[in-house]
């Protein structure tokens, strides 16, 4: 990559994250000294009362810039992904959240890391998303997309729900549980991890199906190929109405007899990483893995 590719930079900030305004102002000050122009969505521009920026609708952000810098947490990148996917504009994050598996740059590293990125010393990574559809008799209705996970859950009440799972039209099991998490490798370090799912390297072409508190001691997470067709069927009997969420955003309240199809989205999200990025280093720092032992000198 060359710097000439990044001539117009889009800024997105999460309003409810502490320190976001400080980092946004630092970014604007830094970018003003570069041969780039800056745009922002209206909500982000409103955060910076002393700075005047070109404002574009969030839906047009991908068409309006060559690179999007997101200031916030991983949830901020989850939110912006759907607006830039079709344009293939890459995204990089400044971490103002908690874990920050997707937001690589620390607030005090903005200048040094972006110097590398704008000079072309960076790597590009593709992360796939999931699509979920409600299946009808002769068509399917798109419900939403998720970078982390699609979750079938009982909603606000703590009660078990029933469903049947099919993979590539082959029956797998019927289950009574609090629900099912269908996660991408990106999402394997999010909600699925809390449900006992495995950590998957982001480069894997796979999904994890992690049951939530199953009413069975033998039910365990299952890893399947990324091109698998996941179908969930809700029994036509019973009064429970589970819900479908994508990256924590409620999309649909199910009815008895509903069938859902979950598949890999055809267009991936493009993430930019600064030099030295390591998924395993992120695991060490975010999950508390042990660091390398240092040999003592006698």
DSSP characters for 122-181?
-EEEEE--EEEEEE-SS-EEEEEEESSEEEEE-TTS---EEEEEEETTEEEEEEEESEEE
Average pLDDT over residues 190-199: 95
Average pLDDT over residues 148-161: 86
Which residues have a catalytic role annotated? 74
Nearest 5°: the CA angle 213, 204, 104 is: 90
Average pLDDT over residues 69-80: 90
Domains and CATH numbers, the chain: 3-127+268-287 (3.40.50.10330), 130-264 (2.60.200.30)
Nearest 5°: the CA angle 71, 75, 230 is: 145
What DSSP state is assigned to residue 199?
P
Tokens linked to 45 = 């521009």
What percent of the chain has pLDDT above 90?
66
CB 74 within 8 Å of CB 99? yes
Strands 37-40 and 8-13: parallel
Tokens linked to 181 = 């998490």
Q: How far is CA 189 from CA 57, 64, 192, 223, 242, in A?
A: 31, 32, 7, 14, 24
Give residue 15's pLDDT band: very low, low, confident or very high (50, 70, 90): confident
Give the tens place of pLDDT for each residue, 99-135.
Answer: 778 888 988 999 999 999 998 889 999 999 999 999 9
- Tell me if the pTM is above 0.75: yes
Give residue 239's pLDDT band: very low, low, confident or very high (50, 70, 90): low
H helix or E strand, kind and range, residue 283: helix 279-287
Report the C-alpha gap between 93 and 75 in whole angstroms. 11
CB 182 within 8 Å of CB 150? yes
Burial of 291 (0-12, 13-18, 19+ CB in 10 A): exposed
Tokens linked to 2 = 């060359």
Tokens linked to 97 = 């959240």
């Amino acid at each position: 990559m060359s710097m000439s590719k990044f001539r117009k930079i889009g800024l997105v900030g999460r309003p409810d994250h502490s320190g976001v305004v400080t980092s946004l102002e630092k970014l604007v000050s830094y970018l003003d000294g570069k041969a780039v122009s800056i745009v922002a969505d209206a909500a982000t521009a409103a955060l910076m009362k002393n700075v005047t920026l070109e404002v574009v609708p969030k839906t047009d952000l991908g068409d309006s810039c060559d690179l999007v810098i997101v200031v916030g947490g991983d949830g901020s990148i989850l939110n912006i992904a759907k607006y830039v996917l079709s344009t293939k504009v890459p995204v990089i994050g400044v971490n103002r959240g908690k874990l920050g598996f997707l937001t690589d740059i620390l607030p005090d590293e903005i200048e040094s890391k972006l110097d590398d990125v704008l000079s072309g010393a960076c790597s590009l990574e593709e992360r796939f998303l999931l699509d979920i559809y409600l299946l009808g008799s002769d068509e399917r209705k798109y419900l939403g997309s998720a970078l982390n996970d699609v979750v079938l859950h009982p909603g606000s009440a703590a009660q078990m729900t029933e469903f049947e799972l099919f993979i590539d039209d082959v029956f797998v099991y019927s289950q009574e549980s609090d629900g099912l998490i269908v996660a991408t490798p990106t999402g394997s370090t999010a909600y699925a991890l809390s449900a006992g799912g495995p950590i998957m390297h982001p480069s894997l072409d796979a999904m994890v199906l992690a049951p939530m508190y199953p009413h069975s001691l033998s039910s365990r997470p299952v890893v399947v190929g990324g091109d698998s067709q996941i179908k969930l069927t809700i029994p036509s009997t019973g009064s429970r109405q589970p819900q479908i969420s994508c990256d924590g955003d409620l999309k649909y309240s199910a009815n008895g007899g509903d069938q859902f199809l979950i598949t890999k989205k055809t267009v991936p999200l493009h993430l930019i990483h600064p030099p030295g990025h390591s998924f395993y280093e992120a695991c060490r720092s975010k999950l508390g893995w042990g660091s390398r032992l240092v040999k003592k000198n006698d």
